[in-house]
Chains A and B, each alone.
Chain A
Amino acid sequence: MRGGAANPVRLRYTKRGKVRWISHRDVARALERAFRISELPLAFTEGFSPRPKVSFGLALSTGHESDAEYLDLVFAEEVDLGPLSVSLTEALPEGMAVTGAVPLLERAPALQEAVTAVVWQVEPVTADGAPIDASQLAAHVVRALELPTLPTARRRKGRDVEEDVLPFIRRCELRETNPVSVEMELTTQPRSAKPGDILAGIARATDLPGGLAEARVLRTHQWIERDGTRLEPLVADTRPRALEARAS
């Protein structure tokens, strides 16, 4: 940063529709291009290969959608955050929209460590992709949550491991949507589990005929829980806007 004051900012954005098929890395590149198209002055690291000062939250799997993605970044100079959402959204691919921008405290904890829980809305199908009977599924979910463990085969660091996914589940309930969906709140610290792992655990532990797999997955919220309070990341660690004008 060329001598000037740091202007850290936190953004919230969506990833919906066809664009869900791009990878986390592709999302990062699309955002970087959007900053250049909008002529927003990202700060860069010093050194031989300057990189923009951006820091992503929890990665979203390719194919999953989200209404609650977050990005921390630093601008090289003060930026009016009012029109920023509109101009960035215009420069992003369809389905990606910036839905909030707030000034961030300097040295705010990184999103990846700060976020403690994530809420998902999942459309389950059978392992073959067939529709699921809602009442049958409801019974299995209730039964699964009463079990002492939910052992699941997960793939971690390229290896198949057996893991109990029950400790990840804060909440898991059926929603009367059409088609039926499961809303689950999962812890993300110290590690996180994927919604598909939870579905597989439920199906296996309760012998659900046909098994369970995810059709569509939507991340609806991320939460930062600290000192007994639960905060949306656009509220936690942010500077009041009034201070922004005369920060230095």
Chain B
Amino acid sequence: MSRLGYAGREMSDLWPRIEPLLAQVEKPARYIGMERGSVRPHHEVRRAAFLLIYPDTYEIGLPNQGLQILYEILNERPDAVAERAYAPWTDMEASMRASGLPLFSVDTHRAARDFDVLAFNLSAELVYTNLLNLVDLAGVAVRNEHRQPCDPIVIAGGHCAYNPEPLAEYVDAFVIGDGEEVIGEIADVVGAWKRGGRASRQAVLRDLATIPGVYVPSMYDVDYDGQFIREVRPRFDDVPAVVDKRTVADLADWPYPKRQLVPLVEVVHDRLNVEIFRGCTRGCRFCQAGMITRPVRERPEAQVRTMVRDGLARTGYDEVALTSLSSADFSGIEGVVADLVNDQVGTGGVSVSLPSLRVDAFSVKIATEIQKVRRTGLTFAPEAGSWRLRQVINKLILEEDLYSAVDAAYSQGWRRVKLYFLTGLPTEMDEDTMGIAQLANNVVDIGRRYTKQASCTVSVGGFVPKPHTPFQWFGQNGVGELTRKISLLRTATRGTRAQVKWHDPRATFAEGIVSRGDRRIGRVIETVWRAGGTFQEWSEHFSLDRWTDAMAAHGLDPDWYVTRHRSRDEVLPWDHIAAGLHHDFLWDDWQAALAAHGLPDCRWTPCYDCGVCTDYALEHVVASPLAPAGGSQGTGQDLRGGADTPVRFLGAKPSGVASMGAPT
């Protein structure tokens, strides 16, 4: 490649070189683009070019709403263009490397190096080796320090960016929080760099570091005290000591995607997806999404209806999902669902799905409304097998709630109930595990009253503590302990109609290494990648040995990272990244968890000052001030259950306690 300035380089369509490879690979349509809604933008020097990359297969990555939103927002700008790329499957990657073909965009089949920014979405830790692989496949040095001044800038966002440290040496800049607004500020800085012939990499990184919500790891030094971090310090005065997340105050301002992509091959979530609200304050303590996306911001009901109507007409989909972290909590959910279902009479039908249903009869009622015929399976997520443990995790579902929901489901014609649980939760004992079996068996018994075919699937995932949650200090269960609990559960359900499925505890362990990892884990990720460890989310490609070997090669102790309990005063690797949650709030909530004390949902009750709204001058955007079904946790119960000391509401708001349905 010539050493011409960036602007002088010819961009080329690689399609003639890609097409001959396609006859030999699985699912060649992964690589052709051409989705309805996609664009073929015109690249010019005055337009900053973003390649938006999902570091997993096309089928997993295409539906990602975050990337689709950014794709539209950038392409609407006169000074930016955006295209997309996904991880080629191993067969295609081998063909590409054998014929010297770099990573390419699916929109115009342009080489990744022709873009100014390689922007990755990070939704799971085990895809990090794919990120390195894709940067390498793009023809760009994998480590920041080895990149040339004119190389594209490597950016990453998404939920995993809230602990950016494991990729600090591999990603030039991280975006923390909602991307809708900050992407424009980034485009301004990158555009100026591009028009200047991609001259100074240091200068553009420094400019990026001053954008609120952008973290440039090379602008920070990490001091260690033995194994522990002493301090993370910015190297320059204009670089913030703590990077605060970005939050879109009102979802109504961002009705995206307006032109959702319709893939030609089947993908996951292959339907119209309309985000009805963002954020969740149910307060489940294991849930990183619920902690980092606060506050709750509902989309106006009228806008939801418009997006559904226009989206269905434009895409031709016959299914729409109303997405959020807990869709039954949307203020206008009953009306929206009823109208959607009734509007469709006589058109061949559009089905509606609500991911993340609550465990209560109200949710079943809505599901009944949606599923007029063919009621096969319904999924609930009690997450833990006993009321005590559900108080620990603040998923305040009484056993009666579950049974009444299940009874409603079977009585309305459903035949299969699927229950999601986590295992390896803080304070978990064998009686909690046995409680899962007991719940499942009781669920089958209820179902048998209505149909002989009643069955119950129990799906168990190993718990990985996540940054910015009250459980961030908890020592994760090791492989042996998780395996023991799973086999306990399998034994307890043997010979029953309850079927147990579980996630591989070894993959859970590897995820644990990265989830709370620090900068030193970066070299481990690189070693795993160099040993061929791509597609680690795929069981056929995953091997824990690669990870433990890499840890050993770098002199790191996996248990120190995974199974060790952290103390209150330990500097955590992500302490310089802020989701707005006060350290004291998280710690007190962790202590409340250990005491099995629940906490109400603050969108319907007085504020307990977790820090997000007060620090960032935000507020909940909720159409109805009334909590559903008589309680702020939505299940008609107060927060007494079992705890003999009062629930502690954090912050100096004791007067709020009485009105929160607190202990009697």
Question: Which A residues lie at the B interface, using CB under 8 A?
Answer: 2, 18-19, 21-23, 25-26, 29-30, 32-37, 41-42, 44, 48-50, 52, 62-63, 91, 93-95, 129
Contacts and interface: CB of A to CB of B under 8 A. Distances in A.
19 contacts: A2-B346, A18-B19, A19-B34, A25-B266, A29-B264, A35-B316, A36-B317, A36-B348, A42-B348, A44-B348, A48-B374, A49-B374, A50-B348, A50-B349, A52-B348, A62-B29, A63-B28, A91-B316, A93-B264
Nearest to A94: B34
B32 A48 contact: no
A29 to B, nearest CB: 7
Given A34-B316, A91-B316, A93-B36, A29 B28 contact: no
A26 B265 contact: yes
Interface residues on chain B, size class: 20 to 34
Contacts of B445: none
Contact of B34 (A25, A33, A93, A129): A93
Given A18-B34, A19-B264, A34-B316, 10 more contacts: A19-B32, A21-B22, A21-B28, A21-B31, A21-B32, A33-B316, A44-B349, A49-B374, A63-B23, A93-B34
B316 A32 contact: yes
B29 A21 contact: yes
Contacts of B22: 21, 63
Interface string B15-44: 100011011000011011110100000000
B20 A129 contact: yes
B315 A37 contact: yes
B314 A37 contact: yes
B264 A22 contact: yes
Contacts of B29: 21-23, 26, 62
Nearest to A35: B316
Contacts of B33: 18
Contacts of A35: 316
Interface of B: 15, 19-20, 22-23, 28-29, 31-34, 36, 262, 264-266, 312-318, 346-349, 373-374
B317 A33 contact: yes
A36 B34 contact: no
B29 to A, nearest CB: 4
A62 B23 CA distance: 8
Nearest to B318: A36
Contacts of A63: 22-23, 28
Contacts of A23: 29, 265
B374 A37 contact: no
A224 B318 CA distance: 35
B373 A48 contact: yes
A156 B347 CA distance: 40
A15 to B, nearest CB: 11
Contacts of A36: 312, 316-318, 348
A33 B315 contact: yes
A30 B264 contact: yes
10 cross-chain pairs, A with B, having the tightest CB-CB distances, nearest first:
A33-B316, A37-B316, A21-B28, A36-B316, A22-B29, A18-B32, A21-B29, A22-B264, A21-B32, A48-B374
Contacts of B28: 21, 62-63
Q: Which of A33, A35, A48 has the most CB of B within 10 A?
A: A33
Q: Which of B313, B316, B349 has the most CB of A within 10 A?
A: B316
B262 A33 contact: yes
Contacts of B315: 33, 37
B318 to A, nearest CB: 6
B58 to A, nearest CB: 12
Contacts of B34: 18-19, 93-95
Contacts of B317: 33, 36
Nearest to B349: A50
A91 B37 CA distance: 11
Contacts of A50: 348-349
B370 to A, nearest CB: 15
Nearest to B27: A23
Contacts of B36: 33, 93
A32 B29 CA distance: 18
Contacts of B314: 37
Nearest to B314: A37
Contacts of A21: 22, 28-29, 31-32
A36 B266 CA distance: 18
Contacts of B19: 18
Contacts of B31: 21
A94 B15 CA distance: 16
Contacts of B20: 129
Nearest to A31: B316
A94 B262 CA distance: 13
Contacts of A95: 34
Nearest to A93: B34
A49 B348 CA distance: 11
A63 to B, nearest CB: 5
B166 to A, nearest CB: 36
A129 B99 CA distance: 14
A17 B23 CA distance: 14
